[in-house]
Structure 1
């Protein structure tokens, strides 16, 4: 699969800006570790629209429970568990849950500190991602 386009992320950022004007739901992730593997699992109530972070590297995502509409490389699609997708680098997802859902992101890493994992795998802004991508190409 190809990397998610800059314009797709722009649209997600625009939606995210509007969502931030609404009351925010706090979703506490469950972090799990095994040798060389980290997973971040969230349970999302029905009727919630949410966005994810920009990931610097491809990662595996699994919907293990529920039904949602999610932005994929093929547009917005309705998916039901069990569903899995490998998200390309640069992905910033948006989803709307139709039922309660359990979504897990799986990353290959030996790191066990969540802040270090987030720093390594996630770009906190479009500028950070584009800088990371440019530096990666130069090295």
Structure 2
């Protein structure tokens, strides 16, 4: 399993890298789909849990910082392996989908003015 939470890039076997680098060329579509599913599950397991509804204090800000840091660290760590295999775009797409789903869920809550402002500032810092 190439995306084990405790894995480090240095632990990836050379044969696994060779297999990954061939995915776009000679490997079966089933194997490629298996890797895509593995990436999706990895993102779902790693992504921080949304704060509970109700009085939250700094929970939304902590969630946003945690998500941003985790995405950056994972993409940075996995880029050397996934880029050559043609899977980096799928990792980034998976994180984007999960992030925007979480933001949508947050925005559908009854948020305080302070929490809305926190979301706006975070969005400005991340996307602009």
Give the TM-score range, shorter chain: under 0.3
TM-score under structure 1 normalisation? 0.21
Decide which structure has the larger Cα Rg and report it. Answer: 2
Q: Name whichever structure is richer in helix by fraction.
A: 2
Q: Name whichever structure is richer in strand by fraction.
A: 1
